[in-house]
A and B are shown apart, each in its own frame.
Chain A
Amino acid sequence: MIPRTNTTRRGVLALAAAGAAISLLPVPATAQLSAGAQAAVDRVRNNRTAQEGRITLRAPPIAENGNTVPIAVSVESPMTAADHVARIHVFADKNPTPDVATFHLTPACGRAQLDTRIRLGQTQDLIVLAEMSDGSLFMTRAEVKVTIGGCGG
């Protein structure tokens, strides 16, 4: 029942986590973004400092097909009227355009979490920014590998 080679993709991923996507290790924030992605991030930042932490980005380390990459974002927050995540922005560093999505949350969500499926044109960093109700800003960044398939991609 097992494919012939020893080092299968499934085998490697089984080491990482049982079941679905794994939490990606954040990439150092100093590494340079593409001009488009940097401009998009700066627009959201609006001169605020983006702090590290609080955001967990889950995505496959290697996307089986760049057309449909499942991602999940969660942000630590009590999600009360006084203290909640207002917006979550997702950008892709090397896509033709960096915007992926902006999510608008309210305390009625109860939790700051979302799942969706995105398109990635090539191996690149995903950048996630979370804007809090008090104006503070958090950011994380992680790489998703997108492979070119052998059978015509």
Chain B
Amino acid sequence: MAAPIGQPRVRLPAQVRAGEIIEIRTLISHVMETGQRRDQAGAVIPRDIIRRFEAKFEGETVFAMDLAPAISANPYIAFPFKAERPGRFEFTWTNDAGESRSATQDLRLA
């Protein structure tokens, strides 16, 4: 069974002006098991990571990241976005097993 993809946290700034480039910050709880570690018995603990992060705005992918085991546990990903109109963000984290977890957040313009 794959490690649980925990609760995601997303931070969008509050007062956003049209045309402003904002920073979107995300954090998600995940162990990001590298596949390099061994358990007490000496057996390799299999790799189990979040391998893809996608940010969609109004249905279109605006930013994505392919993660490798070298990304730290509880992955932190921050990226910029040019706010031109209000709309809905959908952020999706997908693990090696193909399971995913999403969070949505609305972008409001001041």
Contacts and interface: CB of A to CB of B under 8 A. Distances in A.
Do A and B share a complex?
yes
Contacts of A133: none
Nearest to A99: B68
A104 interface: yes
B72 interface: yes
Interface stretch (A14-22, A50-58, A109-117, A140-148): A109-117
Interface of A: 67-70, 79, 92, 95-97, 99-111, 113-120
Interface string B47-72: 00000000001001111111111111
A109 B79 contact: yes
B65 A101 contact: yes
How many interface residues does chain B have, given as a range?
A: 20 to 34
B77 A119 contact: no
11 contacts: A67-B72, A69-B72, A97-B70, A99-B68, A100-B70, A103-B64, A106-B62, A109-B62, A115-B77, A116-B71, A116-B76
B21 interface: yes
A118 B66 CA distance: 13
Q: Give 9 nearest A-B pairs by CB, closest first.
A: A110-B82, A110-B21, A115-B78, A99-B68, A108-B62, A117-B72, A104-B64, A102-B66, A111-B80
